[in-house]
């Protein structure tokens, strides 16, 4: 067991998979000589060389397209998009190619492809560089979307993603690289598509993922001081979405708050709430609340940005409303 950061966990997963399987290689902007713009691949270039840690031109459509091609012919590329905001440049290849090829050609093509990227706001990067559009990507059947909240999950899920034969968008949160957590030694593959109870409780279910887990944990600490025991479910994977732990928890608490960093409209909260209403209507004791980002592009100004982003206090308030 070691206590490591999210950055170290992701880095270890990549390193170990590259050591294990020569078909695995990394390509993306500044992954090599620079060492990754979030320092995740620091030291990789010197160890694995430029062919396996390939610096690319600034060309997101090209990066994802080329990664798809390499995957089709049997390699296992990990394509890095510097941030998820730039994934829009590669949208066609993610949506019309990666998410479709296996199905459309009746399973003849395999795409062992991971697209690693970084999402989230809170760093004063302004409207174009601060988005959390995870729900958009989770919309497409054929693509899997993973967004871990702990180092252990990040490592185990990324290793599983690299070994998977499906295209997977792996979203890291820009403000969570320094988050520390215990990671067991050795291979600890975590299956993709499994939600997990992150904190047990009996009074209310908080359903969240990624950064939302961090703020919900803070909120749960606050609530605990007032005698409210919140149960937190970490989705970990948005597609395929594992609702079993959510339903189980909800049937016990009968109240739920969904927390996400992205915008509320057409978001993760909408999806989760609908599924609870569909499957657990008889257990509903209060309208399900959604905590999410204000419906504005994120501003640069620090105060305004923090107001627009969901905070632990917002979760506390929402929980009190459903109790």
Partner 1 sequence: MNKKEHLELYHQMVLIRRTEERGAELYQQGKIGGFMHLYIGQEAVSTGLIAARQPNDRVITAYRDHGVAINCGIPVNEVVAELLGKATGVSHGKGGSMHMADPQKNFWGGHAIVGAHLPIATGMALGDKYGNRNNVTICMFGDGATNIGFFHEALNMSKVWKLPVLWVCENNKYGMGTAVDRASAVSSIAMKARGYDMPNECVEGMDVMKVYEAAQKAIEAVRSGKGPFLLEIQTYRYRGHSMGDPERYRRQEEVRKWEEQDPIGIYRQYLAGNKIASGKPLDEIDEQVMDEVQKAVEFAEASPEPTMEDLYADVYAD
Q: Tell me whether residue 129 is one of the annotated catalytic residues.
A: yes
Q: Map the footprint of ligand TPP across residues 85-104, applying CB under 6 A.
A: 86, 89
Are the beta carbons of 203 and 230 closer than 8 angstroms? yes
- For position 33 contacting ligand TPP by CB under 6 A, the verdict is no
- For position 265 contacting partner 1 by CB under 8 A, the verdict is no
* List 17, 29, 214, 261, residue binding ligand TPP (CB under 6 A): 29
| CA atoms of 311 and 322, how far apart (whole Å) | 17
Q: Which CB atom, from 88 or from 247, has the smaller least distance to ligand TPP? A: 88
Which tokens sit at 216? 């919900």
Q: Which of 16, 129, 139, 279 is catalytic?
A: 129
Q: Tell me whether residue 139 is one of the annotated catalytic residues.
A: no
Least gap, CB of 37 to ligand TPP (angstroms):
8
Q: Which CB atom, from 88 or from 247, has the smaller least distance to partner 1? A: 88
Residues facing residue 2 across a β-bridge: 183
Site residue total, partner 1 (CB under 8 A): 36
**Residue for token pair 């020569």:** 22
Q: Which CB atom, from 62 or from 142, has the smaller least distance to ligand TPP? A: 62
Q: Which CB atom, from 60 or from 234, has the smaller least distance to ligand TPP? A: 60
**Residue-wise burial string across 276-314, b where 16 or more C-beta atoms lie within 10 A, e elsewhere:** beeebeeeeeeebbbbbbeeeebbeeeeebeebbbebeb
- For position 95 contacting partner 1 by CB under 8 A, the verdict is no
Residues facing residue 26 across a β-bridge: 53, 78
- For position 34 contacting partner 1 by CB under 8 A, the verdict is yes
| CA atoms of 293 and 111, how far apart (whole Å) | 33
Q: Which residues neighbour 51 within 8 Å (Cβ) at sequence distance 6 or greater? A: 25
Q: Map the footprint of ligand TPP across residues 217-276, applying CB under 6 A.
A: none
Q: Which of the listed partners (ligand TPP, partner 1, none) does 307 bind, with a CB threshold of 5 to 8 Å by partner kind?
A: partner 1
Residues facing residue 126 across a β-bridge: none
CA 298 to chain centre: 19
Q: Which of the listed partners (partner 1, ligand TPP, none) does 266 bind, with a CB threshold of 5 to 8 Å by partner kind?
A: none
> Which active-site residues does the annotation give?
60, 129
């Amino acid at each position: 067991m070691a206590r490591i950061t999210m950055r170290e966990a992701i880095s270890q997963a990549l390193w170990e998979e590259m050591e294990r399987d020569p078909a695995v290689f990394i390509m993306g902007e500044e992954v090599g000589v620079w060492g990754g713009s979030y320092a995740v691949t620091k030291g990789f270039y010197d160890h694995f060389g430029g062919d396996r840690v390939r610096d690319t031109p600034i060309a997101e459509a090209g990066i994802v397209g080329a990664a798809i091609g390499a995957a089709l012919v049997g390699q296992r590329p990990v394509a890095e998009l510097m941030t998820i905001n730039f994934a829009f440049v590669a949208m066609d290849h993610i949506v019309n190619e990666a998410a479709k090829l296996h199905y459309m050609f009746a399973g003849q093509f395999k795409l062992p492809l991971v697209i690693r990227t970084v999402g989230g706001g809170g760093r004063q990067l302004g409207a174009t560089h601060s988005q959390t559009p995870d729900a958009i990507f989770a919309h497409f059947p054929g693509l899997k979307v993973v967004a871990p909240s702990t180092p252990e999950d990040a490592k185990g899920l990324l290793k599983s993603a690299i070994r998977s034969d499906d295209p997977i968008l792996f979203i890291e949160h820009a403000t969570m690289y320094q988050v520390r957590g215990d990671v067991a030694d050795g291979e600890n593959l975590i299956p993709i598509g499994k939600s997990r109870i992150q904190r047990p409780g009996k009074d209310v279910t908080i359903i969240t993922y990624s950064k939302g887990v961090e703020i919900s944990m803070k909120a749960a600490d606050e609530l605990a001081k007032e005698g409210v025991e919140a149960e937190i479910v970490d989705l970990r994977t948005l597609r395929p979405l594992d609702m079993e732990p959510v339903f189980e928890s909800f049937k016990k608490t009968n109240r739920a708050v969904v927390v996400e960093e992205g915008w509320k409209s057409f978001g993760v909260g909408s999806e989760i709430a609908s599924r609870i209403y569909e499957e657990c209507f008889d257990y509903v004791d209060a309208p399900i609340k959604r905590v999410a980002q204000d419906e504005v592009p994120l501003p640069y100004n620090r105060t305004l940005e923090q107001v627009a982003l969901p905070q632990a206090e917002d979760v506390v308030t929402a929980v009190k409303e459903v109790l």
